[in-house]
Each structure stands twice: as structure tokens, then as C-alpha cells.
Amino acid sequence: MALSVDQFIARWQGQTGGAERANYALFLTELCAVLEVEPPQPASAEHQHNNYVFERAVSFKEGGDRIGHGRIDLYKRGHFVLEAKQSRQAVDRPFEQLALEIPPPPPPPPPPSKKKKK
């Protein structure tokens, strides 16, 4: 049974400190249920197919010719990237912690045109 919004807030409110890596997937999965949206999908070994997953593998340029490797806590292609942070510190403006805008994917190519026969 999914939690109500009030139950969800009561369950997670005041959960400072603790283990970020241990809690974020459960928190976000429960949040999806409360919001009645699709939860993340199981990850595939073929990273190009991981469109909406926890722990999305990424490569990035570190400087010069060096390539770094990391993971994104929650990734949804063309929608958002989420990095979970849990702290004992009070945050005045929590939504300013992450300001990352992901551009939408390019539009699909137009369908092939049909030539009229004369």
C-alpha cells in the first residue's frame, strides 16, 4: 500500500545524517509512489539503454585528454539528473543545492516524404 503524502512526510521528516547511499533509493522510490509516477527501471549492462535508472554510469572529460568515470544517483534521459545529498546541516534554500538544466533530446527526424505518382 502506497503512503499518503502526510505519511510520507512524517516518515522522512527529520531524517538528518544517516547513510545517504543507504536511503536515497528508498526515499525516491516511495516519492514516486506518493506522486503516482513511474519509478526508475532496473539498470542494464548496456548503458545506452539506461534511460531512467539509479546509479547511471557516466564518463566525463576531466581536463586535457583524461576521462573520468562516475555515477549519477538518479537519471532520466531528457528530463533530469538527481544527485542525492543528506546532511545534518539545516538548509535555508534546498532547491538551490542543485541547479542543473538538462536540454531536451533532439526531435525525431521527419518521416520520409511520399512522392506523388502522376
Q: Given this model, what pLDDT does residue 95 score?
A: 46
pLDDT at 99 over 50: no
38-76, pLDDT tens digit by residue?
999 998 888 788 899 998 988 888 888 888 888 888 999
pLDDT of residue 77 exceeding 80: yes
Reported confidence tier of residue 98, pLDDT bands at 50, 70, 90: very low
Across 2-36, b (16+ Cβ under 10 Å) vs e yields: eeeeeebeeeeeeeeeeeeeeebbebbebeeeeee
Identify whether the C-beta of residue 57 lies closer than 8 Å to the C-beta of residue 69. Answer: yes
How far is it, in rounded angstroms, from Cα 83 to Cα 62?
Answer: 19
How large is the average pLDDT for residues 7-34? Answer: 82
Q: What is the mean pLDDT of residues 92-117?
A: 61
Percent of the chain with pLDDT strictly greater than 90 = 14
